[in-house]
């Protein structure tokens, strides 16, 4: 970001708050009064206070009522919810008051407009280290690789889809996929692995599958971009929040969510057509280089911040 004219100071949650909220959802760690006091002492140094998600915005917004300061309060990313009450309460308290949103997808910009009547959102997308995740020698006979821990993953549909296939499937997830009797050979890696091991796992894959439920968040986006950067053919469940990150039938095969028959057919068809799979992977890598590399993302994000901090005079 510095290369693009934006100086950033990272302020992590205080050690006290981290100890106090250990074992609780990260939402509570973000609500940190001690960090808020640090902001109060140093607020004149900043043009913008940028919080990741809503919890970090609560204290700065409260302080702004007590102490007048000119710094914009902006939010990076959102995880919309209509069901989890603590997060919903924080969103209802912060979304109407935040000066600007930097969101991952057009879906989230539309969500803010529809549910909160906010039009102050800039879509900045997401990024992947395209210098670390690079294409190797693709193995069309390698395993299916499935990676992810969040609740949006639909491993059950994938297990049903492959149950009668003579195929190797490797899951890297802390969850416990419910194995089904069948021909597919399932390997489950439940422990965390290093980034180098993760890259090697992608590199072994014939196809990376990102099976998803319908969600309000960008579930699966990191796994998608890592596979795309590696030049691994991708099959992903259709889910509106992540539709900005692929072009159907050009960079990924997209299947309906929760549909094991369609997912099975897509796996069989792509493994039977290595030329098509290779072409999809090549286009996906080009898309990453053009739009989702760290360099492209930093330039886009820095330009968006500058427009908010120093708007063009009307």
Predicted TM-score (pTM) of the model is 0.92
Nearest residue to 229 (alpha-carbon basis) of 265, 257, 195 = 195
74-88 per-position pLDDT tens digit: 999 999 998 899 999
| Domain(s) of CATH 3.40.50.2000: residues in the chain | 144-292
Segments of 6-126 assigned E as strands: 48-52, 72-76, 100-103, 121-123
Q: What's the pLDDT at 184?
A: 94
Q: Given this model, what pLDDT does residue 98 score?
A: 96
Is-contact 142 206, C-beta < 8 A?
yes
Pairing of strands 144-147, 168-172: parallel
pLDDT of residue 110: 97
Query: pLDDT tens across 23-45, in order?
Result: 888 888 888 888 887 777 776 77
Residue 13 CA, chain-centre distance (Å), reads: 21
In this structure, of 46-60, 201-215, 291-305, the range with the lowest mean pLDDT score is 46-60
The CATH class of 144-292 is: alpha beta
- What integer is the mean pLDDT of 105-131? 97
pLDDT tens sequence across 221-276: 999 999 999 999 999 999 999 999 999 999 999 999 999 999 999 999 999 999 99
pLDDT (mean) for 117-124: 97
Dist. CA 85–CA 89, nearest whole Å: 6
**Percent of the chain beyond pLDDT 70?**
98
Other CB atoms within 10 Å distance of the CB of residue 178:
9
CA 271, distance to chain mean position in Å, is 27
Instruction: Output the average pLDDT for the chain.
Output: 93
Residue 313 has pLDDT above 70, yes or no: no
pLDDT at 54: 95
């Amino acid at each position: 970001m510095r290369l693009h004219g934006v100086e950033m100071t990272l302020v992590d949650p205080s050690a006290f708050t981290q100890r106090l909220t250990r074992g609780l959802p990260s939402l509570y760690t973000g609500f940190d009064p001690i960090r808020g006091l640090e902001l109060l002492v140093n607020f004149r140094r900043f043009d913008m206070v940028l919080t990741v998600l809503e919890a970090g915005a609560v204290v700065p917004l409260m302080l702004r009522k007590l102490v007048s300061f000119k710094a914009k309060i902006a939010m990076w990313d959102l995880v919309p919810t209509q069901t989890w009450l603590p997060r919903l309460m924080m969103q209802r308290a912060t979304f109407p008051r935040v000066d600007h949103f930097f969101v991952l997808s057009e879906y989230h910009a539309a969500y803010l407009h529809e549910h909160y009547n906010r039009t102050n959102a800039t879509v900045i997308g997401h990024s992947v280290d395209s210098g670390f995740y690079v294409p190797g020698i693709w193995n069309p006979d390698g395993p299916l690789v499935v990676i992810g821990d969040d609740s949006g993953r639909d491993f059950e549909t994938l297990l049903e889809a492959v149950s009668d296939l003579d195929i190797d499937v490797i899951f890297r997830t802390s969850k416990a996929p419910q194995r089904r009797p069948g021909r597919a050979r399932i390997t489950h890696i439940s422990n965390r692995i290093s980034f180098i091991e993760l890259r090697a796992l992608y590199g072994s894959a014939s196809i990376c599958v990102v099976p998803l439920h319908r969600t309000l968040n960008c579930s699966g986006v990191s796994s998608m971009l890592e596979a795309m950067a590696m030049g691994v053919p991708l099959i992903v469940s259709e889910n509106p929040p992540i539709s900005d990150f692929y072009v159907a039938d050009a960079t990924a095969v997209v299947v309906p969510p929760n549909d094991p028959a369609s997912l099975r057919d897509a796996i069989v068809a792509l493994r039977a057509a290595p030329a098509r799979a290779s072409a999809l992977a090549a286009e996906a890598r080009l898309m990453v280089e053009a739009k989702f590399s760290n360099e492209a993302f930093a330039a886009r994000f820095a330009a968006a911040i500058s427009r908010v901090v120093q708007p063009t005079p009307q």
